[in-house]
Chain A
Amino acid sequence: AQSVTQLDSHVSVSEGTPVLLRCNYSSSYSPSLFWYVQHPNKGLQLLLKYTSAATLVKGINGFEAEFKKSETSFHLTKPSAHMSDAAEYFCVVSDTDFGSGTRLSIRP
Chain B
Amino acid sequence: DGGITQSPKYLFRKEGQNVTLSCEQNLNHDAMYWYRQDPGQGLRLIYYSQIVNDFQKGDIAEGYSVSREKKESFPLTVTSAQKNPTAFYLCASRVTGGVRGANVLTFGAGSRLTVL
Contact = CB atoms under 8 A, between A and B. Distances in A.
Given A90-B42, A96-B45, A98-B43, A44 B112 contact: no
A67 interface: no
Interface string A32-69: 10101000011111100101000000000000000000
A96 B105 contact: yes
B74 interface: no
A96 B92 CA distance: 10
A99 B33 CA distance: 17
Interface in B21-73: 33, 35, 40-43, 45, 48
A100 B40 contact: yes
A43 B40 contact: no
Given A43-B90, A43-B110, A96-B33, A51 B43 contact: no
Interface residues of B, number: 22
Interface string A87-100: 00010101110111
Interface string A1-30: 000000001000000000000000000000
A32 B40 CA distance: 24
A34 B40 contact: no
B104 interface: yes
B109 interface: yes
Contact of B105 (A95, A99, A101): A95
Interface centre among A45, A46, A99, by most chain B C-beta atoms within 10 angstroms, is: A46
Contacts of B82: none
Interface in A77-108: 90, 92, 94-96, 98-101
Given A42-B109, A43-B90, A96-B33, A101 B103 contact: no
Given A41-B110, A42-B110, A43-B108, A100 B103 contact: no
Interface of A: 9, 32, 34, 36, 41-46, 49, 51, 90, 92, 94-96, 98-101
Nearest 8 pairs of A and B residues by beta carbon:
A43-B107, A100-B42, A44-B107, A98-B43, A43-B109, A95-B103, A101-B42, A98-B42
